[in-house]
């Protein structure tokens, strides 16, 4: 039987995979309708801050000088 250390030798990297979970198509329209109705939209997500920022921009939730806050920062408020 091959040892664990021996099994880890001569390995070859064969690839990498990325995944994306985009917002549903109707979300952008719903956000726009909320804006038109005077409703302030706040997005809360478990995503990484940079991912959240990109999605918020895509949906029109984040204004040009909008603020993004992570969980620890929110907890200190």
Domain range enclosing 37: 24-72
Is the residue at 58 inside a domain?
yes
**14 within a domain of the structure (yes/no):** no
Cα 56 to the center of its chain, rounded Å? 9
- Residue 51 CB-half CA count within 13 A: 10
Does residue 18 sit within a domain?
A: no
Mean pLDDT computed over 64-75? 88
Q: Residue 61: what pLDDT?
A: 93
Phi, psi of 65, deg, nearest 5:
-110, 25
pLDDT at 26 over 90: yes
Q: Is residue 37 one of the residues assigned to a domain?
A: yes
What's the confidence (pLDDT) of residue 60?
92
Domains in the chain: how many in total?
A: 1
Q: Calculate the average pLDDT of the chain.
A: 89
Please check whether residue 17 lies inside any domain of the structure: no
Domain for residue 31, yes or no?
yes
Q: Does some domain include residue 16?
A: no
> Is 55 contained in some domain?
yes
What is the model's pLDDT at position 19?
Answer: 84
């Amino acid at each position: 039987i091959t040892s664990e250390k021996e099994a880890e030798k001569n390995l070859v990297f064969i690839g990498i995979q990325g995944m994306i979970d985009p917002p549903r198509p109707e979300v952008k329209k719903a956000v726009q309708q909320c804006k038109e109705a005077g409703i302030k939209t706040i997005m809360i997500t478990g995503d990484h801050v940079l991912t959240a920022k990109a999605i918020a921009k895509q949906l029109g939730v984040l204004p040009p000088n909008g603020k993004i806050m992570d969980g620890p920062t929110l907890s200190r408020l």
